[in-house]
Amino acid sequence: MITINDSTIEEIREIRHQISQKNDHDPYKLINYYLELQKEYEKQQKSHKK
């Protein structure tokens, strides 16, 4: 039986898999991807504080 939490977890796993796939399942590329994402998030936060 799938609960809401199970479906949410499955959705997160699928998204993570897609991200990994887009980065050729390469851990170094994945780290780079997440670091760039973090930089973008920080920029957004700074621009919203102004």
Mean pLDDT of 31-50: 90
Amino acid at 20: S
As a whole number of angstroms, the distance between CA 30 and CA 26 comes to 6
Classify burial at 1, counting beta carbons within 10 Å of its beta carbon; exposed 0-12, middle 13-18, buried 19 or more: exposed
pLDDT of 49: 76
Nearby residues of 32 by Cβ (< 8 Å), 6 or more positions away: 23
**Mean per-residue pLDDT over the chain, rounded:** 90
Number of domains in the chain: 1
Strand intervals (E) in the chain? none
At 3 the pLDDT is: 66
Q: Is residue 4 over pLDDT 70?
A: no
pLDDT tens for 11-27 read 999 999 999 999 999 99
- Domain extent at residue 28: 4-49
DSSP secondary-structure letter at 16? H
Residue 50 above 80 pLDDT? no
